Amino acid sequence: MINRFLKYPFTIPSWATLSLMMNGVLFIALLVVWQEKSDGGDPTVLPQANAAYATNPEAADLNPKFPTVGTRQRLNYQQWVTLLGQEIATMAAKNPDHLTILLGDSLSLWFPAELLPGQRVWMNQGISGEKTHSLLTRLHLLDVADVDTIFLMIGINDLIWGQSDQQVLANYREIMDYLVTQHPNTQVVVQSILPHGAETSNWESRELLLNLPNERIRAMNQSLQEIAQEYDAHYLELYPIFSNGEGKLRPDLTTDGLHLNREGYLVWRAAISLYSQLELP
């Protein structure tokens, strides 16, 4: 019997490895949920230091007194860009270690600051409704800072509002061109686009989601993974842990079939934390 096992060594298929990792992410997220309910907080994340989403004691003296996210909803796009430029400049002046940027649209914007993993100084540079072409016009704002890592998620708004796959991918390559050229020492983590809830969604523009098959999002994610490989960047596949058996956004993780609730952000936080520990130096 022993010789048989030696002759035919047991190997774990790649699909099983992925499944185990995704289950591990979900398990970690559930632990965080349980911990929050039992003791009222997450001890791995330090208190929020400022409106720029710092979770590191080095940034505790930074207090630019910018408005909260809630009041920012009244800003137009250019006001958003100006404000985010001021925030990154303020942080850059302090030059903290492990400065990490959340870059993207409303999904990034609404990431609760207290849920961001510790041991980093986080800055949220998300804007609601952001698309790939408009993100390109504000990447220069990051040039003033020594950025350790960028977690990038962008593209869902392009697809929802009718942009072609070819144009989205062309814009994405321009984004990566800029980041690897202007920030050669920065780790860029390309994050996959999340699924949506389709007919289960109650988002205000639900009909637009119904015209966007989740199969198209999965195909786009495959292209984004290839782009990440082209630019020697990291790739974090989030789609499987946010989708149900039908490939739609899990209803327990969303507020409206497109945006995430707190449980959804806990799952995302667990994925970022696990990926950072396994893949990022």
Q: Considering the entire predicted model, what is its pTM?
A: 0.80
**Phi and psi at residue 121, in whole multiples of 5°?**
-100, 110
Q: What pLDDT is recorded for position 83?
A: 95
Q: What pLDDT is recorded for position 162?
A: 95
Cα–Cα–Cα angle for 245, 210, 248, nearest 5°?
Answer: 15
Q: Could you tell me whether strands 149-153 and 187-191 are parallel, antiparallel, or unpaired per DSSP bridges?
A: parallel
Q: What pLDDT is recorded for position 22?
A: 54
Query: Edge-to-edge, what's the strand order for the sheet holding 149-153?
Result: 121-126, 99-104, 149-153, 187-191, 234-236
- CA R_g for the chain: 19
Q: What is the spatial distance between Cα 55 and Cα 45, in angstroms, rounded to a whole number?
A: 7
Q: What pLDDT is recorded for position 58?
A: 35
Q: Looking at residue 260, what DSSP letter applies?
A: B
Q: What pLDDT is recorded for position 74?
A: 74
For the chain, residues with pLDDT lower than 70 are: 1-73
Amino acid at 80: W
Q: What pLDDT is recorded for position 26?
A: 56
